[in-house]
Amino acid sequence: MKRIIYTFIATSGIIFSVGCSKDLLHKEPADQSSVETFWTSEDKATAALTGCYETLVGPYMGEGSWLLKLEDITPNSFEIDDGSGASSIARGDNNPTLPLINSRYRTAYEGVGRTNTFLANIDQVPMDNELKIRYKAEAKFLRALYYHNLIEYYGGVPLILESPDNNTQGELPRNTKAEVLEVINADLDDAVVDLPVFYSNTDSGRATKGAALALRARSALYNEKWAEALAAAQAVVDLNEYSLFPDYRGLFLLENERNNEVIFDVEFQFPEITNRYNELFQQGNVFKDLVDAYLVADGQTIFDSNLYDPENPFANRDPRLSQTLITIGSMLNGELVTGDELFADLTGYAFKKYTYLLDDVVSSTPKPGQSEINPILFRYAEILLTIAEAENELNGPTTRAYDAINQVRSRESVDMPDVSPGLDKEEFRKVVRLERRIEFAGEGLYYQDIIRWRTAEDVMNQDGLDQDGNVIENRNFNPAKDYLWPIPDRDILLNPNLEQNPGY
């Protein structure tokens, strides 16, 4: 079974939580230990680093707000109860009080505060120097990840690189996004040098050289630094550590965790740390727009292919459709899907990804809230599609770009035709964008894609439909404000120097 590296170490005697507002920054020790007396041994340093990782777990528990809920703000799916505010965002009512807006901001700053505290104190700990260097690299990767999660949603934010101190940090103004990006890049460059390519099983789940390079590639891609994205992605390939897992559905099953495609994930283990993915992803909240986006087996759209049969719409389709989605009339867990209970009852479609369920085989499933499937943050297919996109933006659809995207399409369990040769730059761009949508459906990446591509104002101003074309949710996206999320309202109230994003 999996080893837990994210369990909070209660005996560490120190609270690392931090944010930009005064109440977040003002934290007292939870017991008799203090910052001054804590940093005395390798064991305590290890506990502190575990605390830096532990911040990652919360957003992927409960309603899975950084995975499924981010998917629900896109044309792929919707939030059934609007408990997180995802549906409010999708309907155009994005405001600073929504739980998702607040939790992403505050959790990211909690991670920043913990990593800053760790980096400020680790040098005084008497411990093996090589291990200390590695620990610092892990913390820098995590700090970069937390800041990445901030700037891609809120824009520029206060840049804090020291241990939490309300007196000096409680009323900081916002830095520019470019200034924060410089720190992200510097942290990742340092981490790449000092992180190992892999760990033994006892340390699995920690940041690796590949993880730092993958984040470097994603960050550069999101900010149209095409050459940097291409170089970082190619560096991941050159590690010769990762490859495409042959079974696309199996890639997300519990028995195949930490397979050769996974670069970095957030680790769960029953019964200590669990999530609700097995039941959440089965809820019928997938829109018809995503289903229609899957190509036919000949590589054509459903509007162009002679193989597409409207009376049998799931036949002869990209195999990733049936490996990603539950559809009425298909087999699941050895039974015919009728739409009862959680299975596709609202729209006719639900996610199969991140569940325990197979098609023709009856499999045991966990009780509600007892799933231990690890959400994958970075995987090798993203690296290949980063190469395809960045190469096309730099040099057009070269052989290198074609090779990268065709590798993803030729996965053994997918085996879609190669992309047609002879496309121009814009045509190839559309192909890559569709490939990303299909390959990563249900993984929470599509929202940031439509934001960075500046296509959200088009695709998010269309109603969400069920399988019969009925409107399930009205959508609205205001390009004058919705390309950024608002800074949470309580942080604005507590910090007079924290300027709100336009339109809020």
pLDDT by residue (tens digit) across 279-308?
888 888 999 999 999 999 999 999 999 999
Please tell me the distance from the alpha carbon of residue 275 to that of residue 373, in angstroms, as a whole number: 8
Q: What is the pLDDT of residue 37?
A: 82
Neighbouring CB atoms inside 10 A of 246's CB total 14
Residues of the chain with pLDDT under 70: 1-35, 63-65, 341-342, 344
Tell me the torsion sign for CA atoms 65, 70, 73, 78: negative
Cβ-contact 103, 154 below 8 angstroms? no
CATH class for the region spanning 10-195+486-494:
mainly alpha
Please tell me the distance from the alpha carbon of residue 399 to that of residue 404, in angstroms, as a whole number: 9
Tokens representing residue 371 in the block: 């799933």
320-349 in b/e form (b: 16+ CB < 10 A) is bbbbbbbbbebebbeeebebeebbbbbbbb
Q: Compute the C-alpha angle 195/407/67, nearest 5°.
A: 60
- Residue 395 has, within 13 A of its CA and on its CB side, a CA count of 10
Residue 120: partners with Cβ closer than 8 Å, 6 or more residues away: 162, 163
Neighbouring CB atoms inside 10 A of 234's CB total 18
Q: What is the pLDDT of residue 34?
A: 66
Q: Is 280 helix (H, G, I), strand (E, B) or coil?
A: helix
Please tell me the distance from the alpha carbon of residue 155 to that of residue 489, in angstroms, as a whole number: 16
What residue type is assigned to position 161 of the chain? L
Please tell me the distance from the alpha carbon of residue 61 to that of residue 125, in angstroms, as a whole number: 33
Helix then strand count (H, E) for the chain reads 20, 8
Residues facing residue 376 across a β-bridge = 265
Q: Could you state, in order of their start, the residue ranges of all structural domains in the chain?
A: 10-195+486-494
Indicate left, alpha or beta for 272 from its phi (over 0: left) and psi (-120 to 50: alpha): alpha
Cβ-contact 240, 197 below 8 angstroms? no
Percent of the chain with pLDDT over 70: 91
CA 324 to mean position of chain CA atoms? 17
